[in-house]
Structure 1
Amino acid sequence: MTETSAHRTPSDAPGADTADTPAHRGEDEVEVGVGPWPGGRAAWPTDPRYDVELLEHGDRRNVVDAYRYWTVEAVVADMDARRPHDRRLHIAIENWGHDLNIGSVVRTANAFNAAGVHIVGRRRWNRRGAMVTDRYQHVSHHPQVEDLLAWAADARGGAGIPVIGIDNVPGSIPLEGYAFPPECVLLFGQESAGLSDEARAASRDVLHITQHGSTRSINAGAAAAIAMHAWVTQHLTIS
């Protein structure tokens, strides 16, 4: 069961990204994005990747400059094309308690061009923290951990993708220095409880982020960002 964010709904009108609307900006904040394409209709590019509504009214979305005026579908297609076929990162999140960090994790996954985000458990999740990046991300739903594992085992034509758990629990391995597989699923638990027993048992390895302060754990969204970046530094070209 997959919900694909490339599909545009009525609330997905160009420039309607929640984070970019005037109601969500302070009066003194600088307006983001760009206005209508300079020169009017006569100067519009003919490349089919461009969205005529954005060309006419401007593009205030939370996207990098390279994707200004592009349709959502064109952005998703380009991100897919830029992802190495043999080095792909998937992110999975257990959603038993409507964890508010899920949106933040999705946003970070988009920033690192993850191949997919997998929500395990409840289908509904709070999208506010995603800052509309879920539109440009492949998001799938798995009712139970077993369903995620079945998908991972069948991926890559049956070759499978290893699942790596991230949780600060006894017996876990320090993330620092860990050799991540070039293609894997990083599995995160909810903020309070961490990974479920089933998720930990199913993971090839369970990693923890080494800490040096007094708190037992760090924010789940922050932990996910650290883990994703650790994989990126090993497997993607840093320019």
Structure 2
Amino acid sequence: MPHGPVEVGVGPWSGSWPSGPGSEVYDAALLAEGDRRNVVDRYRYWTMDAIRADLDTRRHDFHVAIENWQHDFNIGTIVRTANAFLAAEVHIVGERRWNRRGAMVTDRYQHVRHHPTVADLAAYLDTLAEPTALWGIDNLPGSQPLETTVLPRRTCLLFGQEGPGLSDGAREVCAGTFSIAQFGSTRSINASAAAAIAMHSWIRVHADLGGDAWRG
């Protein structure tokens, strides 16, 4: 290929296999056959359980929730972005089944919970050790501009379906709704793009950006 290697990842482990303290994170099959997964170099040859356990030691304090009433294809992409920004949990509200193709397997490294209704989601957030505000992201009349709002450290960002946006039930239980500024002719931006913008707004305020902390 003109712009990079033919294969993603690395081939079989070269030399003696890891042993001793810490070697339990490695997967024998990956060491023998190579690791072609879409993971950062830090996790090459690690088992899935070891990766998830390490991520759990440094997850951020924000949650992401998506309403799923029409099997929105954006859900998988939102899950992938939540993994990239290391959200505490992802919540699917409504239909339990969702299209995982866009997640690119990242849902295996992310805590994903299902809630039948937004009220159930709100009730779950109330059980957490620290208060977690439920904020809706939608360009609704009366929404506050996200660009001039400081997201609280402990928050759950709720996104509606592509097209209709947040449901009436969601609007009722949200502590507030927040909009993303747009300047062109389109009425709305893609739901997964809006989710990425909102998550990055949290990252800019609260994430540790020093050194290589963000490189995984």
Partner of 2:92: 119
1:200 maps to 2:141 = no
Q: Deviations over 1:159-186 (max 9, x none)?
A: 4311010001100010002111111100
Partner of residue 137, structure 1: 110
- Could you state the TM-score of these two structures normalised by the residue count of structure 2? 0.92
Question: Which residue of the partner structure matches residue 98 of structure 1?
Answer: 71
**Distance (whole Å) between structure 2 residues aligned to residue 144 and residue 227 of structure 1:** 22
How many Å apart are 1:29 and its aligned residue? 6.7
Matched, 1:30 2:6: yes
Count of residues in Structure 1 that have an aligned counterpart in Structure 2: 205
Q: List 4+ stretches of structure 1 deviating above 6 A.
A: none
Counterpart residue identity of residue 109, structure 2: Y
TM-score, normalised by the number of residues in structure 1: 0.83
How far is 1:30 from its partner?
Answer: 2.1
Q: Which of 201, 218, 226 is 2:189 aligned to?
A: 218
SS in 2 for 1:228: helix
Amino acid at match of 1:44: W
Q: What is the letter of the counterpart of residue 49 of structure 1?
A: V
Q: State, as a whole percentage, how many aligned pairs show the same letter.
A: 61
| 1:187 corresponds to which of 144, 151, 158 | 158
Equivalence map 1:78-89=2 (5 Å)? 78-83=54-59, 88-89=61-62
**Structure 1: gaps of 5 or more residues:** 1-24
Secondary structure in 2 aligned to 1:74?
helix
User: Higher mean Cα deviation, 29-38 or 187-196?
Assistant: 29-38
8 Å Cα contact 2:131-2:154 kept in structure 1: no
The gaps in structure 2 that reach 5 residues or longer are: 211-216
Q: In the TM superposition, what whole-angstrom CA distance separates every residue of 1:43-67 from its partner, at most 9, and x where no partner exists? A: 1112101111100100000100100
